[in-house]
Structure formats: structure tokens, C-alpha cells
């Protein structure tokens, strides 16, 4: 029973990684940019959700919607200010800019409100269900269902809508897409908006599940989500979901075996192994592309 319980713990943790990884992988899929500021958008989402719930007394779903909308706007602003000018620059230049933006946001938030942690209010009555001797909390179920729900919506947007078609076209060949009358800038902005909205949602859910939020909370989940995205095949939406869940479960089992001090190391060992043996990820086709 202990192992079943650990599996439940791992899936809950993995769902949050998956939700952040979805945004990562989308942005990478369209403009081949590893957006390191994604973890910070996640952090801002958590704080916006906190202010909605604790400050204005809103419920969970209004807070989730407000956080997602604000993060979408912030994502677009970041893209317009920091990345747009670098559209034809080398990939390393854009990568370094992304790291810079990430540090700027972290320290900006610390400057505005200090570095002390904040406790999320208990907005959701947390019931535990006893299933085959395993405790499953209502929060775990919420996290998993929100993650899966958003992934399905995302798949729908990418494969069934006009903007999704434009995204796929830009991803395939942005020059040709432009020739076919697609507004590349708007498409990229839309990608950032959707990806950042997902990060915002993940921030609010993280706050509810783990209670503690602080200005540096985006760093480690951001890196883990990056590992999850690479693990599943960067640029592939179901891959990010599966990668996140696998990573969460692996980390949990590392702890469950008594190596809790190695759990962060385990994530990065996975990253290294994947990059050596199957750089395209679990779901990737074997095209020769470096991450």
C-alpha cells in the first residue's frame, strides 16, 4: 500500500511539473526558444492568485481565471519587449536574454514586496478519500484534472483552430508562413499568451497544494519543467504531460527508497541521460536536433 500511496504522491507532484512544462514546450515548439522566464511567470501567477483570494476574497475559479489572464498579458509583454527584437539573433543571445528577464522579474518582485514567504489561504476544503488504503486528497484530484483538462484544451487549440494552424505553420517554417499571409508576430504573441496562462494556472494550483509561495519559488519548478519537456520530447505537447508525470513519479520514488537528499539530482541525471541516449525525448522522432 505504501507504494501505491507513493504513486499518488508522485502523480500529484508530476501534474504541476506537467502544467508548467506545457507552456515551455509550446514556446520552444514555435520559436525554438527555451524561455527561462517561464518559471517567473509561474511565480507571478501564484502571487496574483494569492492577492485575488486573500486580498479580494475571491473563490478559486475566479482567481484562477484572473491569474491566467494576467499572466497571458505579462507573457506577451515579455515577448514584445525582450524577445521580439532578437528574432533574427543567434539562439544563444535569446537564451541569455531569457535568463536575464528571469533574474529581473525575481529581483523586481523581491524589491516590491520583500523576500519573505507568503502562506496561501485554505480556499479549498481538503478532504481525503480512502481508496484501497491509500489517502487521496481532493487537492491532488483537482491538480490532476486541471492539468489534464488544460492539456486537452491546448491540443484542441493547436490542432483544430485557425490560430493553432498558424502556430503549426510558423513552427514548420516561419518564412514560408509569412509568405502565405500569416502574421508571424501575432502568432508568436498568441503562443506566449497561451503558454504563460498555463504557467499562471500552475502557480495558483501550486500555491493551493503546497501553501508556501515566495519570489524565488519559480526557479526549481521551472528547471524541473524544462527537464520534463526535454524528457517527453521538447516541442511535443503530450510529451510534456507525460514527461512531467514521469519526472514527478521518479522523484517521489527516489525519496521513497530513502534517498530524499538525491531527489533534485535525480531530475538532472535524467536530463543528462536523455540528452545522451535519446535527445529527441520519449515522444520525439529521431531528427538530429540539439537542445
Partner 1 sequence: MKLKKFAGIFATATLAVGLLAGCGAGEKADGDSSSSKGGDTIKIGVNLELSGAVASYGTSELSGIELAVEEINAAGGVDGKDIELVKVDNKSDPAEATSAALKLITQDKVVAIIGAATSGATVAQAEIANGNEVPLISPSGTSPTVTVKDDGSVNEFVFRTSFIDPFQGTVAANFAANDLGVKNVAIYSDNSSDYSKGLAASFKKDFEAAGGTVVAEESYVGKDTDFRSTLTRIKAANPEFILIPGYYEEVGLIVKQAREMGIDVPLMGADGWDSPVLMDLAGAEALNNTFTTNHYSSEDPDGIIQDFNDKFEAKYSKAPDAFNALGYDTVYLLADAIKRAGGADSVKIKDALAATSGLELVTGLYSVDENHHPVKSATILEYKDGEQIFKTKVNP
Applying CB under 8 A, among 220, 268, 272, 273 the residue interacting with partner 1 is 220
252 scored as a contact of partner 1 (CB under 8 A): yes
Complex with partner 1: residue 119 or 272, whichever CB lies closer: 119
Stretch that binds partner 1, among 9-17, 175-183, 185-193, 277-285 (CB under 8 A): 9-17
Applying CB under 8 A, among 255, 266, 281, 284 the residue interacting with partner 1 is 255
CB of 245 to partner 1, least distance (A): 14
Buried b (16+ CB within 10 A) or exposed e, 109-125: beeeeeeeebebeebee
Complex with partner 1: residue 176 or 265, whichever CB lies closer: 265
3-state secondary structure of 230: helix
Q: How far is it, in rounded angstroms, from Cα 144 to Cα 158?
A: 21
Q: Would you give the binding string for partner 1 spanning residues 159-198, x where CB under 8 A is met?
A: ----------------------------------------
Residue 161 burial (CB count, 10 A): 11
3-state secondary structure of 129: strand
Q: Is the distance from CB of 104 to CB of 111 less than 8 angstroms?
A: no
258 scored as a contact of partner 1 (CB under 8 A): yes
Nearest to 117 by CA among 214, 203, 210: 214
CB of 53 to partner 1, least distance (A): 13
Q: How far is it, in rounded angstroms, from Cα 94 to Cα 64?
A: 30
Applying CB under 8 A, among 212, 268, 272, 289 the residue interacting with partner 1 is 212
Output the CA–CA distances (angstroms, integers) from residue 231 to 97, 122, 240, 245, in the order listed: 24, 33, 8, 10
Output the CA–CA distances (angstroms, integers) from residue 101 to 22, 35, 246, in the order listed: 20, 9, 29
Stretch that binds partner 1, among 4-12, 60-68, 101-109, 173-181 (CB under 8 A): 4-12
Q: Give, to the nearest 10 degrees, the angle between helix 91-113 and helix 38-50.
A: 30
Stretch that binds partner 1, among 88-96, 158-166, 176-184, 210-218 (CB under 8 A): 210-218
Q: How far is it, in rounded angstroms, from Cα 11 to Cα 147?
A: 11
- Cell, residue 61: 475559479
Complex with partner 1: residue 122 or 152, whichever CB lies closer: 122
Q: How far is it, in rounded angstroms, from Cα 204 to Cα 261?
A: 27
CB of 136 to partner 1, least distance (A): 11
Q: Would you give the binding string for partner 1 spanning residues 91-130, x where CB under 8 A is met?
A: -------------------------xxxx--x---x-x--
Stretch that binds partner 1, among 34-42, 76-84, 207-215, 236-244 (CB under 8 A): 207-215
- Residues near partner 1, by CB under 8 A: 2, 5-6, 9-10, 12-13, 116-119, 122, 126, 128, 135, 137, 210-212, 217, 220, 251-253, 255-256, 258, 260-261, 264
Amino acid at each position: 500500500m505504501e507504494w501505491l500511496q507513493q504513486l499518488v504522491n508522485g502523480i500529484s507532484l508530476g501534474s504541476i511539473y506537467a502544467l508548467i512544462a506545457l507552456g515551455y514546450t509550446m514556446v520552444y515548439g514555435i520559436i525554438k526558444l527555451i524561455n527561462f522566464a517561464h518559471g517567473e511567470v509561474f511565480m507571478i501567477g501564484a502571487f496574483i492568485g494569492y492577492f485575488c483570494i486573500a486580498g479580494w476574497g475571491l473563490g478559486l475559479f475566479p482567481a484562477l481565471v484572473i491569474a491566467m489572464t494576467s499572466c497571458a498579458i505579462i507573457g506577451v509583454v515579455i515577448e514584445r519587449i525582450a524577445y521580439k527584437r532578437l528574432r533574427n539573433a543567434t539562439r544563444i543571445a535569446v537564451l541569455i536574454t531569457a535568463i536575464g528577464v528571469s533574474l529581473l522579474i525575481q529581483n523586481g518582485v523581491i524589491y516590491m514586496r520583500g523576500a519573505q514567504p507568503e502562506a496561501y489561504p485554505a480556499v479549498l476544503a481538503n478532504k481525503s478519500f480512502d481508496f484501497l488504503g491509500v489517502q487521496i486528497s481532493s487537492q491532488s484530484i483537482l491538480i490532476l484534472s486541471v492539468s489534464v483538462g488544460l492539456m486537452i484544451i491546448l491540443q484542441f487549440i493547436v490542432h483544430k483552430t485557425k490560430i493553432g494552424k498558424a502556430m503549426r505553420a510558423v513552427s514548420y517554417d516561419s518564412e514560408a508562413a509569412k509568405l502565405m499571409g500569416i502574421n508571424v508576430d501575432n502568432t508568436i504573441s498568441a503562443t506566449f499568451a497561451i503558454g504563460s496562462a498555463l504557467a499562471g494556472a500552475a502557480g495558483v494550483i501550486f500555491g493551493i497544494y503546497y501553501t508556501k509561495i515566495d519570489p524565488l519559488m519559480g526557479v526549481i519548478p521551472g528547471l524541473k519543467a524544462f527537464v520534463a519537456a526535454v524528457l517527453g520530447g521538447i516541442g511535443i505537447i503530450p510529451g510534456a504531460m507525460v514527461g512531467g508525470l514521469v519526472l514527478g513519479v521518479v522523484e517521489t520514488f527516489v525519496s521513497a527508497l530513502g534517498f530524499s537528499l538525491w531527489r533534485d539530482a535525480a531530475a538532472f541525471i535524467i536530463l543528462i541521460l536523455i540528452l545522451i541516449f535519446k535527445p529527441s525525448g520519449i515522444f520525439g522522432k529521431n531528427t538530429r536536433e540539439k537542445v
